[in-house]
A and B are shown apart, each in its own frame.
Chain A
Amino acid sequence: MNSKVIGLVDDEEVFHWLVESNVKMINDGCKFLSFFNGEEILNYLRSSPAVIPNILLLDLNMPVCSGWRFLENYANSAVKTEMDIYILSSSIDPEDKVRAKNFSIVREFVSKPISSDFLKRALNRFS
């Protein structure tokens, strides 16, 4: 099994630990990348990194640069990757789900809390 790369964009530190711990339990070989707002991941992607996440889990409400801003910038930028982008938000607002559908690059809108079932499903797409 190739080692998968999972990227998480979320301003809550505890969530990073939570996701990472869950991912490690499913597949210990996964690589985990942490970003705390949209700007960080954008800058990372623009820097032509060696490692690009297979899966990007994206929170919406974040300081400095929200998930929405990231999506707008990324969709309009020259940077193109083959990431599966999942919105992972504590929002259950239907309007957010509608808004998310406008972005074709978004694979799915997932509400928190995160479940290992979801992670397994997301990872299995690359097995």
Chain B
Amino acid sequence: MESPTDSFIGNHVLDRRIRTTLSNAKITLCELNLTTRIIHWSVDQSFHFFEFSKSYDGTFDGYFKLIHDDDKERVAKSLEHLNLDEYITLEHRVLWTDGTYHWLEGIGKYYQEDGMSLLIGTIQDITERKRLEIEREDWERRHKLVADAAGVIVYDYDIESGSIIWSGNVKHILSFSNEEMGDINRWGDLIHPDDRESTFKALEEAQSQLKTFEVYYRFRRKDGEYRNIYDKGTFLSDDGKAKRMLGMMSDVTELMLSRMALTQSENRFRSLMNNLNVGVALYDVNMVPVMHNKTAFTLLGMTESQFVGTAAMDNEWNVIDSDGDRMKPEDFPIPMCIKEKKAIKQVVMGVFRPITKDRVWLMVDAEPIYDHNKDLLHVICTYMDFSARKRMEEVLKEKNQQLTASTKEVERRNERLLEFAQIVSHNLRSPLSSIAGLSDLYFNSNEKDQDQAVSYIKDVCKKALETIDDLNKVLKVQQGDRIRSEKLRFEDCLSSVIELMKISLSEKNIVVDADFMQAPVIKYPPIFLENILLNLLSNSIKFCSKTEKPEVIIRTKKIKNTVILYFTDNGLGIDLSKHKEDIFSFGKTFHLNMDSKGVGLFLVKNQIRTMGDEIEVDSKVNEGTTFKIVFKNQYE
């Protein structure tokens, strides 16, 4: 490069040190004669740092050509409007030898001397500064873009001066412009008085420890409205001392409001849940409760820690189904719901609660909840106590059974009453018609016949009275439902009967062989059982065999919940083909001998039927008779 030597600066002797300093600072001195358009540079070896393009001829016009096209007009205009003694600063780009443009800053003062217009000053290479500046502007622009897009404020706080550079959504969020916001004191003034102290305390703390500053505070807008601000910043330090803080602020008022509303609604929901008398629990797919109310674990008879699985279950805790069978854990509604991936409803669980030592009847529903991928997310389960209803159902069932039983009893009674009425009408009609006939005869016959008639009337009356007595016995049997059942031993009862019949038995040499080993006990009214055994035995005595050695065999047997009594003799027997219907009828006898009146078996049948039991007979003439009595519902 050709050095311009004919300069007025070059004519001056400059101190070497000044030159060196200027050189280090990449500054050169120059004088531009605007009238002659001659430019003088400070001639120095150090000039090499100005690497103008090789085409530079050292003239001002040559220099002007090197100026970037974008800057030419601005530079030219600035030089046209100069005022005396005024400093101007001109930043412009100049073409360098390597083909790049360097930013140069010319600072000069305008003089007039000897009719010449002179501009004297310095030119400095500010490329590096400019690059940083541009870079910073670039960053700031990007920051602002990001901040705007995120709806946040970005700030750069210079700690020493207290100034803050604001960018981003400042106006929108804080209602103040960047300029109105100003410095740290202005910011502090706008914080809600109640939050101010704590915010500054947090700031000082973060600053002294170079930690992240993170606070929530209320900020007063122009209109006086307070907004909730979330503020987070980090410190830039130099030698362990905080220099700047870069941070971000965002308006979280809506978020906080909705969070508050959520909390409130959650609280409301929780208090609602806890006041329900229905147990509610939300389980995850591993059957771990994620949310539940008190009723849930109380109804299930667990402590809360047992319910959530942090404490072991009580060994006594168990569940039965509505049939009373033990319920297997895999049949519980929740695992079923998870397995089948569908709602499991109205499962009846009878839970034994070790805490209260009772069994509670729960109606349980389990419903699956899916996420947006249709994957099972939760199972919501409700537990409803219906013990009271269950108890009522049981009472109702029992009452129904009682009603059915009493209806049956009424039917049985009606049947017996009808039968009784028939017996009465027949058995009393017979003697009365005899009396009527005899008295008719009495008035139409001779003295001898009259005496005979009266004597017969007496006989008939006596028989009629006996019949009435017998009917009375039957009536007493039919009121049998007032007679209480007791636990009786067959052996004891038979002994007392044999004692009563002892004389007749020994007269006829009858052997009684009784064995009650298989079913020794029965629940029955004592009078009934005694009467049954008495009548059967007296029946056997009456009709005992005259040719064979008379014998009575008595056995009992247990079949399911019935007791069966077999009463067998080897006596005369009954011709069942003729008399099957008549055996247990009132006033029937089938034999011409003996003292039979035919009431005993009728009574036996009546007593047995009164108790709802059954009697059957099997017999062969001259071989013997077996009575079989089935006593029902003996073992429950």
Contacts and interface: CB of A to CB of B under 8 A. Distances in A.
A18 B426 contact: no
A92 to B, nearest CB: 7
Interface in B438-486: 438, 440-441, 444-445, 449, 452-453, 456, 459-460
Contacts of B386: none
Contact of A93 (B422, B433, B437, B444): B422
B531 interface: no
A28 interface: no
Contacts of B436: 113
Given A18-B434, A113-B436, A64 B590 contact: yes
A34 interface: no
Given A92-B425, A113-B436, A63 B449 contact: no
B423 to A, nearest CB: 11
Interface stretch (A9-17, A42-50, A76-84, A99-107): A9-17
Contacts of B429: 90-92, 112
B430 interface: yes
B592 interface: yes
B578 A15 contact: no
A103 B449 CA distance: 36
B399 interface: no
Contacts of B430: 12, 90, 112
Contacts, number: 67
Contacts of B433: 90, 111-114
Contacts of B588: 63
Nearest to B596: A63
Contacts of A120: none
A14 B456 contact: yes
A63 B434 contact: no
A3 interface: no
A113 B437 contact: yes
A14 B459 contact: yes
Interface string A62-92: 0111100100000000000000000000111
B379 to A, nearest CB: 71
B426 A14 contact: no
Contacts of B452: 17, 21
Contacts of A63: 588-592, 598
Nearest to B452: A17
**Central interface residue in B422, B426, B452, B453, by most chain A CB within 10 Å:** B426
Interface in B387-435: 422, 425-426, 429-430, 433-434
A69 B444 CA distance: 35
A64 B592 contact: yes
Given A15-B434, A90-B430, A112-B433, A25 B444 contact: yes
Nearest to B434: A14
B426 A113 contact: no
Given A63-B589, A69-B578, A90-B433, A113 B425 contact: no
B590 A114 contact: no
B441 A22 contact: yes
19 contacts: A12-B430, A14-B438, A14-B456, A14-B460, A17-B452, A17-B456, A18-B453, A21-B441, A21-B453, A22-B437, A64-B591, A64-B592, A65-B578, A92-B429, A93-B422, A112-B433, A113-B433, A113-B434, A116-B440
Shortest 7 CB-CB contacts between residues of A and residues of B: A112-B433, A113-B433, A90-B430, A113-B436, A113-B437, A14-B456, A90-B429
